[in-house]
Amino acid sequence: QYAVAQKATQATAEHLQRAKELYGENSTVVAKLESKLRSQQITEQQLANSIKQTSESLKQARDAEQERTSETAKAAQKLKELKGQEEQLQSSLSKLNAQYELQKATLGENASEIEKLRLKIDNLGEQHTVAASKVQNYQKQLDQAKQQYGENASEIQRYETQLIQARTAEQQLQNQLSATNRSLQEQENATKQLKTFFDATETSVDHFANALGNNLTNAIRNGTATARQLEQAIQIIGREALGSEADIEKLQRSLRSIDDGNSLQQVRNDLRDLSREAERASHSFKELDIGLENILGGLMAGGGISGAIEQALDTSKLKTKIDV
């Protein structure tokens, strides 16, 4: 159309020139031809503008398409890199699990419960770090997949699913880590309470072996007793030492009071009071002038234990007789 318009304009211009020569500048023929020429020139210019605008639009469209193609290519490349990182993270996780199994084997069956829990916490912490990195990786994969395939593409669902699964795995590890930390705290608290009792009475687990039984005694001696077993041992020892009616809850509060700054002497005083309460609860009102060893109930079965208690009394400056 533009080429036709150009030819028409050129033909009219030539015709106008000849008309001027034949009829003069001010003739009617010339005036009509001038009007026609102006109209054709306007049409030609409009077509030129339209062509220019169309060309610019086409260029913009080509540029946009090239940019989209480039972004898609970049997204595909980035996605490939992220999948490579994903494989590295999975390899790291497998390596961590293998190292954990090796460390457990190195510790052996005789490792203390605290050692086992600390090792588990270290491993869970490292696993959680990797799991968090996987979540970040899958989020980036999802973002890149949307650029490559589009927001509503069928491929997106797969990336969304793996991200949800990764977040779930991370949360599960966090829950395990929190639970294991609580278990370690309980284990350390129970271990400390039992040690405080032994320190306050200057005895050991061996003094209570008959009441505890061989399995529990050996577990405590070797450090392999669980927090629940230690709680059970405190109850058995408390009743064996202070009387069958002893208030175990008060005993445990007294043993925990060391953490608040109380001294062993205060714990000894608490033991004396608890023993008296147990005696009253069992309706025994006899006034006895005896030493701390008789506060410890069944410990007096053998003369060797009695001698050890007497020595403990001297060492702790508790020779004063205690009325129970």
pLDDT > 70: percent of the chain = 84
- Cα–Cα distance between 253 and 116 in angstroms, integer? 27
**What's the confidence (pLDDT) of residue 65?**
64
- Cα–Cα distance between 128 and 93 in angstroms, integer? 10
φ/ψ of 322, rounded to 5, equals -115, 130
Concatenate the DSSP letters of all residues of 39-55 into one string: HHHHHHHHHHHHHHHHH
pLDDT in tens, 178-200: 999 999 999 999 999 999 999 99
Q: Which two tokens mark 215?
A: 């399995």
- Cα–Cα distance between 317 and 204 in angstroms, integer? 19
Question: How many helices and strands (H and E) does the chain possess?
Answer: 10, 2
Name the more confident of 23 and 177. 177
Beta-carbon contacts of residue 169 (< 8 Å; ≥ 6 apart): 131, 134
User: Has residue 284 got a pLDDT over 80?
Assistant: no
Tracing tokens 């010339």 back to the chain, one arrives at 30
Tracing tokens 């405590």 back to the chain, one arrives at 220
Instruction: List the one residue out of 182, 187, 177 whose CA is nearest residue 228.
Output: 187
Concatenate the DSSP letters of all residues of 284-322 into one string: -----EE-GGGGGGGGGGSHHHHHHHHHHHHHTT--S-E
Q: Which two tokens mark 291?
A: 């030493």
Domain ranges of the chain: 2-68, 76-183, 189-323
Give the C-alpha distances (Å, rounded to integers) separating 90 from 25, 119, 251. Answer: 92, 21, 50
User: Has residue 2 got a pLDDT over 50?
Assistant: yes
pLDDT in tens, 60-117: 777 566 656 556 677 788 888 888 999 999 999 999 999 999 999 998 888 999 999 9
Mean confidence (pLDDT) of the chain: 82
